[in-house]
Each structure stands twice: as structure tokens, then as C-alpha cells.
Amino acid sequence: MEVLQLLVGGIASGCIYGLVALGFVLIYKASEGVNFAQGDMMMLGAFIALGFANTDQMGLPFGLAVLLAMATMFVIGYGIERTVVRQIFGQPQFALVILTIALGFVLRFVAGSIWGYTPLVLETPLAGRNLQFAGIVVSLSDIVTIIATLALTLLLWLFFAFSRLGLAAKASSQNQMAAYIVGIPVKRVHSLIWGLSGAVATVAGVLYASKGTIDPNIGLLGIKAFAAAVIGGMGSLPGALMGGILIGVVEPFASRYLPGEIGLMSPYIIMLFVLTTRPGGLFSQVRMKKV
Amino acid sequence: MSMLYLRNIETYYGAIMALRGVSLDVDEGEIVTILGANGAGKTTLMKTVAGLMQPEKGEINFLGDQIGGAEPDVVVRKGLSLVPEGREIFPNLTVEENLRIGAFTRKGGVRDDLDLVYSYFPVLRERRRQEAGFLSGGQQQMLAIGRGLMARPKLMLLDEPSLGLSPLLTEEIFDIISRLNAEQGVTMLLVEQNAHIALLTAHKGYVLEMGRVVMAGSAEMLRNSEDIQDFYLGRSENTQRGQQRWKRRKTWR
Ligand SMILES: Nc1ncnc2c1ncn2[C@@H]1O[C@H](COP(=O)(O)OP(=O)(O)O)[C@@H](O)[C@H]1O
Ligand SMILES: [Mg+2]
């Protein structure tokens, strides 16, 4: 029984890591660099949802508040690419790393000065409700987290597989010059991808907030999500999700059954193990590119 | 008025001046070729016209509009598509996805255009569900041309379509280029190192050296020119002339 409960909880927190990891992968594919502010975008998304939803703030209905927060974060992500990231277009990869680390500090500062540094609770219709199946107790927020993550991943997959814009984004990440040649407005596609990853981060933030409190430092979870993205191979959306779930599941089990701090270290131990044994990531496609 | 004309185009890589005042004219319905040795600036010229590089000076006019310095997507929308050097396909997209993305700037009629491309390149239809990275060099070249066609161009820029292909495949590709010109009315600006086949296919040509146009004329006139024969067509000569050849200066200098 305990095992099952740990498993469901682990999958749910893994889904949140996975959603943030999806953001890493989206931007990695578009801008060929890592956005270390991804966790902070999740944090800001959660706070913006709180600003729309909580009764002592704007008090909008929860669903509407989440949609508005996603839209706001889309605009913020789009704007960050358009105004800041584009300036370093063509610079070496570490330029983007430094830039986004700085950006993370800025986002934390912005959230801190608007909502303060004391932990706040996002009022969700999910909080504190539990479901009981055959003797095990599962929180409603865990179930919703898992379902929402699967739905969002499916939507993203459909977007990249079938939409004109999704195909254009995929093409741009494979051969940027060719993308220009066929008339894809590559820079605008990059902005859109940053917007998209802002919206995805918001969903992750809201799901995170439905399990506890939020404060401007919750973005540090991004480091675990980064490990998840690396485990998944950095270039693959399903890989990122699976990497997140793997970490999410291993963590509580390691904490429960293994001595000391191994539980806390487990995401990074897995990451190092994957990097040394399968550098392309656990889910990298086994195929060679013919030249 | 010409469909495309360039006047005194100058393009730089940083401080390196790759085009030193190039002017040329392409009339509707023509196949125009640009000859020149490695490093002459042919690719730079194609990239400048297609909007991938910004000219520092000069004028590029396509169908009555100034397109110098315009974004590539604007240029494609106006009816100009580039088939770049080295094919530059999307390796992990399928053949058909590569073609579909060639029509990115348009809506509608994609199905008909796919059928048209497949009618010229039946092998692409056979392989339409395969990833493009697995095609052979010749097939990738066909895909690059097909992708360019999907934009329904009025003018097509082809940068060394014979690069790395066998003589037989080269002939096949040039045959299709001629047919596209005659049957679909696509005007062609064609860069080639293989001057022989280029001058047989084209109506007129320009010779580029060190970023300058050093010679221009009808294909027939260029074919008969001594300089072209010596330096680009590799005329087989008797030994005496062959030795003299090195002493002779090219007349255009
Ligand atoms: N990326 C680049 N950076 C600097 N110089 C370049 C670059 N690409 C080409 N060049 C220089 O510009 C000149 C023209 O090159 P290019 O247009 O590629 O010639 P071609 O296509 O005729 O072989 C050459 O001297 C080449 O060395
Ligand atoms: Mg070239």
C-alpha cells in the first residue's frame, strides 16, 4: 500500500519536473541553448495565477485565472526573447546561459517585490481533497497533475507533428539556414517558442502550487528539471517528460528506503550515471544521420 | 525591364569584401548561368539576392521592387526561391515534410504542387515517408529543387546543383532544370563550376572573378570564347599551346 502511495505521489511530482523540463527542451531546440530561468518562469507563472485567482487579490474563477496566467506568461516569454535573447543571437552558447541566470534573478526579484518573500497559498479547488481507491489514499491534486501533464504533452506533440507552425519550428531547429531559405520567419518562431515555454511553465507552477505554498525561490526546482531534461536527452519532448517522472519516482523511494541524504542527491546521481553511460540521453533515438 | 537586376552590389564578410560591385540582368523565361572558380563569390551573390546576406551597397530589383536587404521570407513570398549549395535539406523530416515546408509561405494548392514535384522526381514519391537524411546525394539534390518549386517561384536560384554528383546524375538534373524552364516557365539563375554543361543549358552567362563580373554574353558567345575554353572548359590542347597557356594572360584583366 505504502509503495503504491509513494509511486503515485512520485509520478505526480515527476510530472511537474517533466513540465519544466519540456520548457528546457523547447527552448534548447529553438535557441540552441539552455534557459536557466525556466524554473523562475514556473515560479512567476504560479504567482501570476495566484494574483488572478486568490480572493484577496483579483478573485477570478480558478480556471479563468489559470488561462489568463498562461496567456500573460506567453506574452512575457515572447517579450523576453524579442527584447533580450535576440540581442545575443549568434553568440556562443554560454552567453545565453549567463543571460538566463541573470534573468532568473530578475524574475525572482520582480515576484518578491510584488508578492513578498513569505510563502503564499494559491487557492485551488483541488487543495486538501483526497480520493480513495482500494485502500490507498491519493490526493486529488496528484491525479489532476498527472492528467493535466499527459494532456499538455499530447497537445504539444500534436502541435509539432501536425501544425504548420510546429513543423516550421521543428525545421528551424534542424537546419536554421534552410529554414530561412524556405521563408520561415525564424526569429518570430523563436519568440513563439519562448512564449509557449512560458505558458507550459505556468501550468507546472500552478500544479506545483496546488500541493503546497509558493515563494520566489521555488524556481530552484528548475535544477532538478534540468537534470530531467538531460536524462531525457535534451532534444526530445517525451524524453524530458520520462526523465522528470523517473526522477520524481526515484526521489521518494530513495528517501524512504536508503540511508542519509541519498534521496536528495538521487536526481543528480541518475543524471551523472546517464551522462556517462548514454551521453545522448536515456531516450535518444538510436540512429545515425547520413551525410 | 529585366525580371531581376543587380546594380553595383557590394557584400562583405566582416572586413572581407566578397562582392565588389556586381551588376547583372535576368530576363523572364531565361536560364542565366554564373561561372567562376572556387571563392569567386558566386554563393555570396546567391545569398545576397535571396536575402540571407545584406548588401552594403547597390541595388537589387526583382519584379519592380527593391529587395536588397529584405528578409528572406519577404523575398520568397515575392516569388524567388533558392536551391542552396550543399542542398541543405531538413535531415530528420520526411521527404514529404521537406516538400510541404517548401510551401510555407503559401496556403492552398499544396497537394497539386506535390503531384507536380513528384511527376518530375518520381523517386521522391517512392521515398516520401522516409527521413530525408537517408536519401542519396542525387536524391537530396532533387529534394532541394523540389522544395524550391513548392514555393511556386517565378525565379529560381540554383547554387551548384551538380556538386558531388556523377556525370550521369548531373545530366539528369540539368535536363530537369531545362524542362522546368520550358514547361513551367520558371526563370533560372544557375551557378556552376561545370561550365560545360552550364553553357549548354543556359541562354546567357556571366563570369565572376574575385567578386567582379569580368565577362558577360550569350551562352554561345561564351562557349566560343578563347578564355572560357582555356580556363573553364579545359580545352584539350597540344603540348606547345599547353605550355604557352601558362604564359598567356587572360584578356579581361
Ligand atoms: N563565412 C565566411 N566568412 C568569411 N569569408 C567568407 C565566408 N564565406 C565565404 N567567404 C569568402 O568570400 C569569398 C567568396 O566566397 P563564395 O561566395 O563562397 O565563393 P564561391 O561560391 O564562388 O566558391 C571567398 O574568398 C571566401 O573565402
Ligand atoms: Mg559556392
Cα separation values, A184 from A119, A188, B143, B187, Å: 44, 9, 18, 23
Q: Is the CB of B15 under 6 A from ligand 1?
A: no
| B95-105 tens-digit pLDDT | 999 999 999 99
Picking from A180, A187, A190, A288 by the largest number of B CB atoms within 10 A of its own CB, the best residue to mutate is A180
**A161 close to B (CB below 8 A):** no
The answer to whether B96 and B128 have CB atoms below 8 angstroms apart is yes
What's the pLDDT at B239? 42
The answer to whether B214 and B58 have CB atoms below 8 angstroms apart is no
Cell numbers at residue A161, please?
507533428
The answer to whether B12 and B18 have CB atoms below 8 angstroms apart is yes
More confident residue, A279 or A247: A247
Contacts A168 to B, Cβ<8 Å = 101, 104
What's the pLDDT at B253? 46
| A167-225 tens-digit pLDDT | 999 999 889 999 999 999 999 999 999 999 999 999 999 999 998 899 999 999 999 99
Rg (CA), chain A: 19
Nearest alpha carbon, ligand 1 atom 18: B43
What's the pLDDT at B251? 54
The interface pTM score, or ipTM, of the predicted complex is 0.89
Q: Can you tell me the distance from the alpha carbon of A168 to that of A187, in angstroms, rounded to the nearest whole number? A: 11
Looking at the CA of residue B38, tell me the nearest atom of ligand 1.
23
Mean pLDDT computed over every residue of chain B? 91
What's the pLDDT at A267? 86
Task: Report the residue from A181, A289, A290 with minimal CB separation from B72.
Answer: A181
For the ranges A88-97, A169-178, B57-66, B241-250, the lowest mean pLDDT is seen at B241-250
Q: Can you tell me the distance from the alpha carbon of A219 to that of B46, in angstroms, rounded to the nearest whole number? A: 47
Tell me the CATH class for B4-248.
alpha beta
What's the pLDDT at B207? 95
Contacts of A274 (CB under 8 A, 6+ apart): A230, A231, A281, A282
Environment of ion ligand 2 (residues, CB < 5 A): B 42-43, 85
In this prediction, residues B194-199 reach a mean pLDDT of: 91
In this prediction, residues A223-235 reach a mean pLDDT of: 89
Question: Would you place residue A275 in the very low, low, confident or very high pLDDT band (cuts 50, 70, 90)?
Answer: confident
Nearest alpha carbon, ligand 1 atom 17: B41
Residues forming a β-bridge with B131: B94
DSSP B161: T
CB contact under 8 A, A182 and B151: yes
| B124-153 tens-digit pLDDT | 999 999 999 999 999 999 999 999 999 999
| B80-96 tens-digit pLDDT | 999 999 999 999 999 99
Mean pLDDT computed over every residue of chain A? 90
Looking at chain A from residue 168 to 187, which residues have their Cβ under 8 Å from any Cβ of chain B?
Answer: 168, 170-171, 174-175, 177-178, 180-185
Residue of A nearest to B46 (CA): A181
Looking at the CA of residue B45, tell me the nearest atom of ligand 1.
17
Distance between Cα B48 and ligand 2 center (Å):
12
Ordered by start, the domain boundaries in chain B are: 4-248
Q: Is the CB of B146 under 6 A from ligand 1?
A: no
What's the pLDDT at B234? 66
pTM summary value: 0.85
Q: Is the CB of B246 under 6 A from ligand 1?
A: no
More confident residue, A31 or B44: B44
The answer to whether A238 and A153 have CB atoms below 8 angstroms apart is yes
Cα-Cα-Cα-Cα torsion B229, B177, B52, A78, nearest 10 degrees, comes to -170
**B53 close to A (CB below 8 A):** no
Residues forming a β-bridge with B7: B59
The answer to whether A22 and A240 have CB atoms below 8 angstroms apart is yes
The answer to whether B150 and B103 have CB atoms below 8 angstroms apart is yes
**B3 close to A (CB below 8 A):** no
What's the pLDDT at A285? 53
More confident residue, B193 or B82: B82
For the ranges A103-107, A169-173, B3-7, the lowest mean pLDDT is seen at A169-173
In this prediction, residues A140-145 reach a mean pLDDT of: 92
Distance between Cα A174 and ligand 1 center (Å):
23
Looking at the CA of residue B208, tell me the nearest atom of ligand 1.
22
Contacts of A276 (CB under 8 A, 6+ apart): none
Exposure b/e, B112-139, CB count within 10 A at least 16 = b: ebbebbbebbeebeebeeebbbbbebbb
In this prediction, residues B41-68 reach a mean pLDDT of: 96
* Nearest chain A CA: its distance from B86 CA (Å): 11
In this prediction, residues A88-97 reach a mean pLDDT of: 84
Question: Would you place residue B247 in the very low, low, confident or very high pLDDT band (cuts 50, 70, 90)?
Answer: very low
Cell numbers at residue B97, please?
515534410
More confident residue, B168 or B236: B168
Question: Would you place residue A286 in the very low, low, confident or very high pLDDT band (cuts 50, 70, 90)?
Answer: very low
The length of chain B in residues reads: 253
What's the pLDDT at A284? 62
Q: Can you tell me the distance from the alpha carbon of A233 to that of B86, in angstroms, rounded to the nearest whole number? A: 28
Contacts A185 to B, Cβ<8 Å = 71, 73
Helix (H) or strand (E) holding A270: helix A262-277
* Nearest chain B CA: its distance from A291 CA (Å): 7
What's the pLDDT at A262? 85
In this prediction, residues A144-149 reach a mean pLDDT of: 95
Rg (CA), chain B: 19
Choose one of B10, B13, B157, B206 to mutate for the ligand 1 pocket test, by most ligand atoms within 8 angstroms of C-beta.
B13
Cα-Cα-Cα-Cα torsion A4, A7, A8, A11, nearest 10 degrees, comes to -160
Q: What stretches of chain B show up as alpha helix (H) in DSSP? A: 42-50, 72-77, 95-102, 110-120, 122-126, 137-149, 167-184, 195-201, 219-224, 226-231, 239-247
Looking at the CA of residue B40, tell me the nearest atom of ligand 1.
22
Cell numbers at residue A101, please?
541566470
Picking from A181, A237, A284 by the largest number of B CB atoms within 10 A of its own CB, the best residue to mutate is A181
Question: Would you place residue B252 in the very low, low, confident or very high pLDDT band (cuts 50, 70, 90)?
Answer: low
Question: Would you place residue B193 in the very low, low, confident or very high pLDDT band (cuts 50, 70, 90)?
Answer: confident
What's the pLDDT at B141? 96
Q: Can you tell me the distance from the alpha carbon of A35 to that of A63, in angstroms, rounded to the nearest whole number? A: 28
